[in-house]
Amino acid sequence: MRTTVNRRARRTAVVLAAGALVLSACSSGGGGGGGATDSAGPGQDKNVAANYSIGTAADSAGPAPTPSGARKGGTVTVLQRDAFHHLDPGQIYYGDMLISQLLYNRSLTGYKIGTDGKVKVVGDLATDTGTSSDGGKTWKFTLKDGLKWQDGSPITSQDVRWGIERLYASFETDGPQYIQQWLSGDGTSYRKALPDGPYDGKHLPSSVLDTPDDKTIVFHFLKPHADTPYATAMPNIGAVKADKDGKQKYDNAPFSSGPYQVADYKTGKSLTLVRNQGWDPKTDPIRTQYPDKFEISFGHQFTDSTRRLLADQGPDKYGMSYTNAVAPEMVEQVLKDPGTKARRLIEIQPYLDVINFNMDRLKDIRVRKALAYAVPSGQIIQQIGGATAGKLATNLVSPSIQGYQPSDPFGKKAKPNGDPDKARALLKEAGKEGQEIVYAYANTDVQQKVSVVVAQALERAGFKVQKKEIDSNVWDNSIAEVKNGFDIFRTGWGADWPVASTVVPPLYDGRVISDGAQNYSHLNDPAVNKEIDRINAVPDVKQAAPEWMKLADKILTDDVPAVPTYANLQFSLWGSGLGGVKYHPVYGYPDPSGVFVK
């Protein structure tokens, strides 16, 4: 999955054993201490595989647990910096939109988050997490009784088929691709199986995707996939009603299967969600429907949202932000205010930030290595908020990932603010002293501060820096263009569930390079592609884990497509008039699905 102003993916370790999913434990990569009410640092890392389990059919039944003190009524105000690029669940892969879609979209499976932050994979639209056969190549799901659209019509397996088949259409570029690839081929080759999606009356054959009746969906994968219940929890593996599907226009008017529906959407400005009367809480183990509406507005920098939520007045008393963090310059003020203790959280996120090097433009590895040594990770962390915002990263894999091993090829622990002498020597060796670097960054208050320290560090190392400020509302689309004209830019990524097969292939497989895809560095190394295929063929995820780590380290040292900067933390604040706010470890932000107005 992608972070806001960047992408992210996120996965949990699973092992193929007797056709069942077995969770594999791994050590925590996070700090100690408390959780949402801790006075300073984050709690334990809730992103690790040991925090996940597979739920039963009973766990998959609704209604969701009732938060203490919950009542119906009221309006939740949501203050967001960046506008949503997509409302279409098929296109959603960013943290802010992942959190928002929970309110109006349901997938086959989903994540039930306990009050302790434990994550249980359960059936959402489905009665359970699926049953496998044929050694894990075939997966069958049965839809629950009582599922309805916002117009009261039933949700059927044909709606799920339509929702999946439309992902093959050329305009569906930004969402996850696991299920499509598992059904029809790696990279972007899966599109050949249904180039126009279902819109011209064609469908995938029943030998690939079968809906034998209104309640049953059967996936026939090319290879075994023990982690299918995690892939079917992605927002795009749900239902879309064919007669409400306006193709690209669906981005502005998705038809709701969740507890809320779109009432008003002003692109780039605001989104209002109101109750969906067709939603039945008895079918939903994940979500609640306490507030009357959610009023989401965009354009709020971190300073603005922090000031308003700290003041705790008027509508802001019932306010929150999905993804805006406490502004760096206000961290100490918030921490010292005893009135915020019960309405804030600091948590370790699944996201790892890197600065990407565009390999189409920066072809000399010595130049890329010079950039890697020059980047001032420590100074970047200070600009984003210090210890409440990030922890120094030294390789391309998050510590919460199964099989993580510490490595530090660019000496970031010893010299967190960069090594300009080493960088300058590499530039001199390459005959590239004074090389111009087009450095793109989003025009947010935080990234503008980051851009200053990065540009200064690169100039100390002998580069000439051309800073290119990009509107944050179009940033995500800009960096995802293959011919974007940038040399370096930041992105953030976390595992779709914590194993590296949801990190290394999406980010560094050369066969997925395309507009909207996640290989931002445009690395296309045949040896890397071949090794990805080899490790993907290992059926036991636990055995594959160290192989992914070795490959990630090899990519960083031999190809240098990016330099890691920091692992993300989230410091969130909300109004005193809200209850039921908890952290969503899978998406890395506060979860609105159980929120109520006191």
pLDDT, residue 2, reads 58
How many other CB atoms are found less than 10 A from the CB of residue 285? Answer: 22
CB atoms near residue 402 (< 10 Å): 29
Residue 9 has pLDDT above 70, yes or no: no
The answer to whether residue 14 scores a pLDDT higher than 60 is no
Buried b (16+ CB within 10 A) or exposed e, 149-169: bbeeeebbbbbbbbbbbbbbb
Mean pLDDT of 402-418: 94
pLDDT of residue 40: 54
The contacts of residue 200 (CB under 8 Å, 6+ apart) are none
Q: pTM of this prediction?
A: 0.85
- Residue 16 pLDDT > 70, yes or no? no
Residues 307-353: pLDDT tens digits? 999 999 999 999 999 999 999 999 999 999 999 999 999 998 889 99
More confident residue, 38 or 91: 91
Between residues 34 and 51, which one has the greater pLDDT?
Answer: 51
Do residues 423 and 383 touch, judged by C-beta distance below 8 A? Answer: no
Q: Average the pLDDT over each of 46-60, 249-263, 551-565, 576-590 and give the range with the smallest value.
A: 46-60
- At 351, give phi and psi (nearest 5°): -90, 140
Mean pLDDT for the stretch of residues 366-376:
98
Residues 6 or more apart whose CB falls under 8 angstroms from that of 281 comprise 62, 63, 64, 259, 287, 288, 289
pLDDT at 387 over 90: no
Do residues 169 and 161 touch, judged by C-beta distance below 8 A?
A: no
- 475 CB-near residues (< 8 Å, 6+ apart): 5, 82, 442
What is the pairing mode between strands 216-220 and 209-210? antiparallel
Quickly state the pLDDT bin for 148 (edges 50, 70, 90).
very high
Query: Cα separation of 569 and 317, whole Å?
Result: 24
Return the pLDDT at 41: 58
Average pLDDT for the chain: 91
Residue carrying the six token digits 């800009």: 478
pLDDT digits (tens, 9 = 90+) for 222-276: 999 988 999 999 999 999 999 999 999 999 999 999 999 999 999 999 999 999 9
Q: Which of 44-53, 157-166, 382-391, 484-493 is the least confident region?
A: 44-53
> What confidence tier does 77 reach under pLDDT thresholds 50, 70, 90?
very high
The pLDDT of residue 11 is above 60: no
Q: Return the pLDDT at 76.
A: 98
Task: Flag whether pLDDT at 36 surpasses 90.
Answer: no
3-state SS class at 229: helix
Q: Give the confidence band of 21 by pLDDT, cuts at 50, 70, 90.
A: very low
Instruction: Give the integer Cα–Cα distance in Å for 556 and 576.
Output: 45
First to last CA, the chain: 32
Mean per-residue pLDDT, 164-173:
96
- Sign of the C-alpha dihedral computed for residues 377, 383, 385 and 386 taken in this order: positive
Mean pLDDT confidence for 67-74:
96
In terms of average pLDDT, the best of 19-28, 46-55, 100-109 is 100-109
- Which whole number is the average pLDDT over 51-57? 93
Task: Quote the radius of gyration of the chain (alpha carbons, Å).
Answer: 23
Query: Between the CA of residue 344 and those of 27, 310, 341, 458, what are the distances in Å?
Result: 26, 10, 6, 36
Task: Render pLDDT for 205-236 as a digit per residue (tens, 0 to 9).
Answer: 999 999 999 999 999 999 999 889 999 999 99
Percent of the chain clearing pLDDT 90 (strictly above): 81
Q: What pLDDT sits at residue 542?
A: 82
* pLDDT at residue number 115: 85
User: Quick check: 372 pLDDT over 90?
Assistant: yes
Residue with tokens 């647990």: 65
Q: Which long-range contacts (CB under 8 A, 24 or more apart) does 187-193 make?
A: 187/509, 187/511, 187/512, 188/511, 188/512, 188/514, 188/517, 193/168
Interhelix angle for 377-384 vs 445-460, to 10°?
A: 160
Residue given tokens 């072809």 in the structure block: 363
pLDDT, tens digit, for every residue of 433-459? 999 999 999 999 899 999 999 999 999
**What gap in Å lies between CA 148 and CA 18, rounded to an integer?**
35
Nearest to 99 by CA among 594, 596, 588, 488: 588
Find the range with the poorest average confidence among 32-41, 288-297, 408-417, 471-480.
32-41
Tell me the mean pLDDT in the region 495-511: 89
Question: Prior bond to 63 cis, omega within 30?
Answer: yes
Q: What is the mean pLDDT of residues 43-48?
A: 80
Segment 75-103 shows an average pLDDT of: 96
Highest mean pLDDT among 26-35, 36-45, 451-460: 451-460
Q: What is the pLDDT of residue 61?
A: 97
The answer on pLDDT for 24 being more than 80 is no
- 508-532 per-position pLDDT tens digit: 999 989 988 889 999 999 999 999 9
Quickly count: other Cβ atoms within 10 Å of residue 527's Cβ: 12
